[in-house]
Amino acid sequence: MPEPLLLLTRDRDVATLTFNDAGRLNAMTRAMGEAFAAEIAELSRDVSLRALILTGAGRAFSAGGDLDMIDERVRDGQAGRHSKNLDTMRAFYGLFLTLRELPCPTLAAINGAAVGAGFCVALACDVRIASETAMLGLNFTALGLHPGMGATWTLPRLVGPAHAAELLYSSRTLTGTEAAAISLVNRAIPRDTVLAATQEMAAAFAANAPLANRGVKRALAHSPTATLDQQLDLEAEIQAGTFATEDAKEGLAAVRAKRPPHFRGR
């Protein structure tokens, strides 16, 4: 029986989802995408989940789109099957970008190369911790292709339009250290510490009130297209809801007692 394309492990209220096709550097296929979307859908229904870590098995996070799949799309393009390619790729993006719908914080532990669509999935996480020596890049134009998987939407929001333009036009790869310097990743650290550091950060997220953190995720998603007044209205709505929670009562009691809080997500 072949190895599963994804591995899901759990440490209390933090889950780790691992791309598990190390022999092909975790190249993204339709089968992997369907498995990924199914796992995310299941995790989205788990109210006990407080954080998700996404990483890759072996020496890569993900080398991007599967070359055989890209070759098939090129053949269809040469044959004039534009509508087929449009529909196929739009559906393909959606499988992996279901990640953005997960209501809890998401963290990418970028242990090695993250390229093209594979890097785009890491960019869809809330936080990224990368190996200092990991090669990161959006190499679409070097393949003769327009970027996909949300690259032209996500990248300017993370690093600004000038850095985004340079990276997308040039298809230049960066080390983790270079990526951290422009805030493309949050931290760049030695490779053998990446997963442990990401787990530590995920545990810190999970220690805080989960309903409040889910509210933060909702507000951050709303912010890019909102006016200040619209964002204030949303913050007031979400904050008013958290005032009614047992976690708010616990947080206040913990501050007064000078002890760590114990949040239960209620």
Q: Give the tens place of pLDDT for each residue, 17-43.
A: 999 999 999 999 999 999 999 999 999
Section 182-203 average pLDDT: 97
What is the average per-residue pLDDT within 45-66? 95
Question: What tens digit of pLDDT does each residue of 151-166 get?
Answer: 999 999 999 999 999 9
pTM, two decimals, is: 0.93
- CATH-assigned architecture of domain 209-257: Orthogonal Bundle (1.10)
Domain ranges of the chain: 6-206, 209-257
Q: What is the pLDDT of residue 80?
A: 87
- Superfamily for 6-206? 2-enoyl-CoA Hydratase; Chain A, domain 1 (3.90.226.10)
The CA–CA distances, whole Å, from 77 to 67, 86, 94, 150 equal 15, 10, 21, 21
Can you say how many angstroms the Cα of residue 211 is from the centroid of all Cα atoms in its chain? 20
The model's confidence at residue 70, banded by pLDDT at 50, 70 and 90, is confident
Q: Write down the pLDDT at residue 1.
A: 65
pLDDT tens figures, 217-265:
999 999 999 999 999 999 999 999 999 999 999 999 999 999 999 999 8
